[in-house]
Chain A
Amino acid sequence: AQTVTQSQPEMSVQEAETVTLSCTYDTSESDYYLFWYKQPPSRQMILVIRQEAYKQQNATENRFSVNFQKAAKSFSLKISDSQLGDAAMYFCAYIDLTGANNLFFGTGTRLTVIP
């Protein structure tokens, strides 16, 4: 069964600094997608970044980038120049191409940004 693990329940970062959130996953599939979602207090889930497993190049979206290590089944999120608005719960998620289209989520990391 696919599992997604986020080992850091809470993280904090000074404003304007860089922070990395960890995520590992377990799968026997070779084709899959990985996501990072942000959940602010409003509870709305916002897609931050997406990575296709067949792509070797790490995805980037402005201040957000990932370090995708397929062999190690690791998918960390780096937030550069952290802003107060980045404070939220961050969820790592996985979906494969088996057709089930079931999106598996980790338990989340609560990020605090210190002014």
Chain B
Amino acid sequence: GAGVSQSPSNKVTEKGKDVELRCDPISGHTALYWYRQSLGQGLEFLIYFQGNSAPDKSGLPSDRFSAERTGGSVSTLTIQRTQQEDSAVYLCASSLDWQGALNSPLHFGNGTRLTVT
């Protein structure tokens, strides 16, 4: 089937606006991750969903960032009152195994490039 799908692929927004980034994981994948990749930086962990368990939000950089995963499938990452430092590529990944990436490889989407002007 299809891989992990992210939309939009590119988003330009004005400082102070809210944005929503969407991730459609591979069907049947119970684990879902959001990462942020800034220019010249590695992947910064944001949030992790595993099935119906409470998400691991320890990577969210501020309370302007939030994420939901409805019905254990589609996830939305919301950034409120965007700032220029939020500009980055936001990557979503999913994996099959209940232990997340431990026993099965992560499947990444192509990311959303967010530019805050």
Residues of A within 8 A of B (CB): 4, 6, 9, 33, 35, 42-47, 50, 91, 93, 95, 97, 100-108
The 4 lowest CB-CB distance pairs between A and B, nearest first, are: A101-B100, A45-B108, A105-B43, A107-B42
A101 touching B42, Cβ below 8 Å? no
B residues 83-117 in Cβ contact with A at 8 Å: 89, 91, 93, 99-102, 105-106, 108-111
Q: Please judge, given known A-B contacts A43-B110, A45-B108, A95-B102, whether A103 and B45 are in contact too, CB under 8 Å.
A: yes
Q: Is B40 an interface residue (CB 8 A)?
A: yes
Q: What residues of chain A lie closer than 8 Å to B89, measured between beta carbons? A: 43
Q: What residues of chain A lie closer than 8 Å to B42, measured between beta carbons? A: 4, 6, 91, 105-108
Determine the distance from Cα of A33 to Cα of B105 in the docked complex, in whole angstroms.
Answer: 11
Q: Is B31 an interface residue (CB 8 A)?
A: yes
Give 14 A-B contacts (CB < 8 Å), ordered by A residue.
Answer: A4-B42, A43-B111, A44-B109, A45-B91, A50-B105, A91-B42, A95-B100, A101-B48, A102-B45, A102-B48, A102-B56, A103-B100, A105-B43, A107-B40
B residues 35-65 in Cβ contact with A at 8 Å: 35, 40-43, 45, 48, 50, 56, 58-59
What is the CB-to-nearest-CB distance from A66 to chain B, in angstroms, rounded to a whole number? 15
Residue of A45, A47, A104 with highest tally of chain B CB at under 10 A: A45
Residue of B nearest to A45 (CB): B108
Q: Please judge, given known A-B contacts A101-B48, A105-B43, A107-B41, whether A44 and B108 are in contact too, CB under 8 Å.
A: yes
The number of residue pairs between A and B whose CB atoms lie closer than 8 Å in the complex comes to: 61
B106 touching A47, Cβ below 8 Å? yes
Q: What residues of chain B lie closer than 8 Å to A103, measured between beta carbons? A: 33, 45, 100-101, 106
User: Looking at the complex, which one of B35, B40, B102, B110 makes contact with A33 (CB distance below 8 Å)?
Assistant: B102
What is the CB-to-nearest-CB distance from B38 to chain A, in angstroms, rounded to a whole number? 10
What is the CB-to-nearest-CB distance from B42 to chain A, in angstroms, rounded to a whole number? 4
Q: What residues of chain B lie closer than 8 Å to A104, measured between beta carbons? A: 45
Q: What residues of chain A lie closer than 8 Å to B50, measured between beta carbons? A: 101
Q: What residues of chain A lie closer than 8 Å to B105, measured between beta carbons? A: 35, 47, 50
Determine the distance from Cα of A105 to Cα of B99 in the docked complex, in whole angstroms.
Answer: 18
What is the CB-to-nearest-CB distance from A21 to chain B, in angstroms, rounded to a whole number? 14
What is the CB-to-nearest-CB distance from B100 to chain A, in angstroms, rounded to a whole number? 3
